[in-house]
DNA sequence: CTTAGTGCAAAACATTTGCATCGGT
DNA sequence: ACCGATGCAAATGTTTTGCACTAAG
């Protein structure tokens, strides 16, 4: 279960980056939870726990974790970059719900079939995709 | 061919918004071109042509044009919001092909059906989506 | 005449950067 | 001891906001 951290450790090793306590503390904080998060949330959670890291260091570490595929980056809205841990999690897509900070994750096989159709039709090889649905909660109230 | 502008005019009319020259000038600038753009580009292009509008007014107008579906909004990167005109075009998606500056546009009904499934399952109303496939040309000869 | 819309500048905001200090190696 | 990494604060760049003025209705 410590495989993710081991991956991180190896990555730092191989790239010749230093294994600082801050980097592992940030890693631990991220991997201790399953929710999506942004840098500010991480900063506040760590501050709460009296673990002092600067935002600059968090931003730096996010870059490292992205490069070794231990987190995924999302741009749900224009003002905040969100992340999620990604070790051992399967590919999924997202529905961003307005007016509630909710993000629904889903996985639908029809996407794979669309992909196959496109590959055949255009003689291409699709490596990956990004799909976001943007929604709001359907309210029973009417509006003019 | 002036239908898009007519749509805008009607929208303003019905909502009781004023038909200011700035709004139509911005509309014209957008509809005179086919490229994706951001607010700053629009601002500079209009300045170039000696048409003086403030950025604030452009931002305001973008909101109006979005509401009457005359433009679409994209968040390709975290730092700039991009737009494209959208009159009469149905929602289309893109396949970005590497190694050639090619972008394939397509529209697949299965996306609509995925959307419906999600709306029913989560009691939400999906307003729009963004879907990008990233591909490369599959070479017929060399095949690892 | 009324008041929505405008331009301008300042504010807000997330992220980046510069620099002195700290600490992994 | 060296120099990469850190913390802090200032800088950056986009979008929003406040306010006095202009002009659409």
For domain A1-88, is the CATH number 1.10.10.10?
yes
Q: How far is CA A102 from CA A66, B52, B76, in A?
A: 23, 41, 21
Counting Cα atoms < 13 Å in the Cβ hemisphere of B46 gives: 24
pLDDT score at A140: 54
Name the nt closest to B79 by C-alpha to C1'.
Answer: D14
Name the nt closest to B51 by C-alpha to C1'.
Answer: C7
Angstroms from A97 CA to nearest CA on chain B = 8
A30: nearest Cα among A11, A10, A8:
A8
Look up the CATH architecture of domain B90-138. Answer: 2-Layer Sandwich (3.30)
A124: nearest Cα among B136, B104, B35:
B136
* Cβ contact A21 with chain C strand, < 7 A: yes
**Protein residue closest via CA to C1' of D24:** B18
- The structure's pTM equals 0.81
pLDDT score at A144: 35
Instruction: Provide φ and ψ at A132, rounded to 5°.
Output: -130, 130
Q: How many CB atoms lie within 10 A of CB A47?
A: 11
Report how far residue B104's alpha carbon sits from residue A28's, in angstroms, rounded to the nearest whole number. 41
**Protein residue closest via CA to C1' of D25:** B18
Report how far residue B90's alpha carbon sits from residue A59's, in angstroms, rounded to the nearest whole number. 39
Query: A85 with A69: CB under 8 angstroms?
Result: no
Q: Which chain A residue is nearest to residue B79, measuring alpha carbons?
A: A78
Question: If you search the block for the tokens 């600059």, which residue do you land on?
Answer: A56
Query: B82 with B37: CB under 8 angstroms?
Result: yes
Report how far residue A144's alpha carbon sits from residue A82's, in angstroms, rounded to the nearest whole number. 35
CB of B12 less than 8 A from some CB of A: no
- In our burial notation (b when 16+ CB lie closer than 10 A, e otherwise), range B81-113 reads ebbebbbeeeeebebbbeeeeeebebebeebee
Q: Per the structure block, which two tokens stand in for A57? A: 């260091």
Residue B104 to residue A97, Cβ atoms within 8 A = no
Nearest to A127 among B115, B130, B135 (CB): B135
Q: Which chain A residue is nearest to residue B15, measuring alpha carbons?
A: A144
| CB-CB neighbors (< 8 A) of B129 in chain A | 131-134
Dihedral sign, CA of B76, B78, B84, B86?
Answer: positive
Q: How many CB atoms lie within 10 A of CB B25?
A: 17
Q: What mean pLDDT, rounded, does chain A reach? A: 90
Q: Which chain B residue is nearest to residue A100, measuring alpha carbons?
A: B124
Q: In 3-state terms, what secondary structure has residue A124?
A: strand
CB of A124 less than 8 A from some CB of B: yes
Q: How many CB atoms lie within 10 A of CB A46?
A: 18
| CB-CB neighbors (< 8 A) of A125 in chain B | 135-138
Residues of chain B with pLDDT under 70: 1, 99-101, 139-144
Distance B98 CA to C20 C1' (A): 44
To 5 degrees, how large is the angle CA A73–CA B134–CA B126? Answer: 65
Residues of chain A with pLDDT under 70: 1, 101, 139-144
Length of chain A: 144
Residue A133 to residue B113, Cβ atoms within 8 A = no
Q: How many CB atoms lie within 10 A of CB B28?
A: 12
Nearest to B137 among A110, A123, A131 (CB): A123
Q: Per the structure block, which two tokens stand in for A22? A: 């801050």
Q: Which residues pair with A131 in a beta bridge?
A: B131
Annotated domain spans of chain B:
1-88, 90-138
Residue A132 to residue B129, Cβ atoms within 8 A = yes
pLDDT score at A88: 77
């Amino acid at each position: 279960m410590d495989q993710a951290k081991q991956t991180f450790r190896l990555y730092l090793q191989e790239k010749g980056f230093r294994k600082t306590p801050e980097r592992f503390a940030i890693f631990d904080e991220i991997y201790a939870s399953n929710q999506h998060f942004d840098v500010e949330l991480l900063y506040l959670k760590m501050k709460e726990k009296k673990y002092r890291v600067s935002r600059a260091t968090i931003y730096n570490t996010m870059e490292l974790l992205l490069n070794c595929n231990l987190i995924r980056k999302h741009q749900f809205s224009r003002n905040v970059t969100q992340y999620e841990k990604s070790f051992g999690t399967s590919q999924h897509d997202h529905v961003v719900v307005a007016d509630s900070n909710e993000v629904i994750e889903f996985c639908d096989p029809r996407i794979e079939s669309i992909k196959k159709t496109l590959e055949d039709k255009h003689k291409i090889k699709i490596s990956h995709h990004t799909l976001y649905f943007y929604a709001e909660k359907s309210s029973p109230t009417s509006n003019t």
